[in-house]
A = this chain, B = another copy of it.
Amino acid sequence: MRPIVTLLTDFGLADSYVAEMKAAILSEATDIRLVDISHQVPPGDIRAAQYLLGRAWRRFPVGTVHVVVVDPGVGSARRAIALHHQGHFFTGPDNGVLTSVLNEAEVVELRIPRDASPTFQGRDVFAPAAARLAEEEPLAGLGPSLSHPVRLPVPTPRRENGVVEGEVIYVDRFGTLIANIPGDWVQGAKAIEVSGKPVGAPRRTFADVESGAFVGFVGSDGLLEIAVRDGSAARRLGVGVGAEVRVR
């Protein structure tokens, strides 16, 4: 099986940064498959990157290496890490962006090559590390073990007296709001509110409401989502990440 390396960054696609990372990987090993997860994470938005990684990585075959570079502290004292979690490998800055895959993970601190650019470790540190992992070099060969990687506080939903409270953790291209509320917490629920505005009871899919109406449903990642059929819930409600979501 040819190894797969995925890339998730905030570099955008206009500049050559992503291509330079790919060149670094292919220079180590030309037979690696490269798959972009996204390069349009808002600049420096560690939480958005963490959400995208959290839903995408498990869809890939075991053995895949995931490179995540959303790294506002590049070149600072923050460490560079690589880790093994449930058969997948991950590499990126130790700034919390890998929080969702740290549980029971084996983590190492990457050595920084002396000639690495202090402003582009994606190319000079993380990409080469990913190539070596894809080539089946053992994790321990990349650096010493690290016991306390940085974790990002993750907002947790609450459930009390039949009321669920959570918040919007991501807004997608269609303006659909994704909440941190597990789908099985809303089974049988009668009403959803976003920032105090009622958006109806949970449905199965878009097609269960008229065009232009709100629709809440359990999304493709197992979380509660709120959309407008053929429209944008984010625009209609004027809300974004952090907006309160209540389900009764």
Contact = CB atoms under 8 A, between A and B. Distances in A.
B59 A27 contact: yes
B207 A56 contact: no
A30 B61 contact: yes
Secondary structure type dominating chain A contacts: loop
Given A75-B205, A118-B204, A4 B16 contact: no
A158 interface: no
Contacts of A86: none
Interface string A209-222: 00000000101100
A119 B219 contact: yes
Copies of this polypeptide in the complex: 3
Contact of A12 (B19, B24, B173): B173
A173 B43 contact: yes
A52 interface: yes
A74 interface: yes
Given A16-B52, A19-B36, 10 more contacts: A15-B38, A16-B37, A16-B56, A19-B56, A20-B220, A23-B60, A26-B35, A118-B217, A119-B225, A120-B219
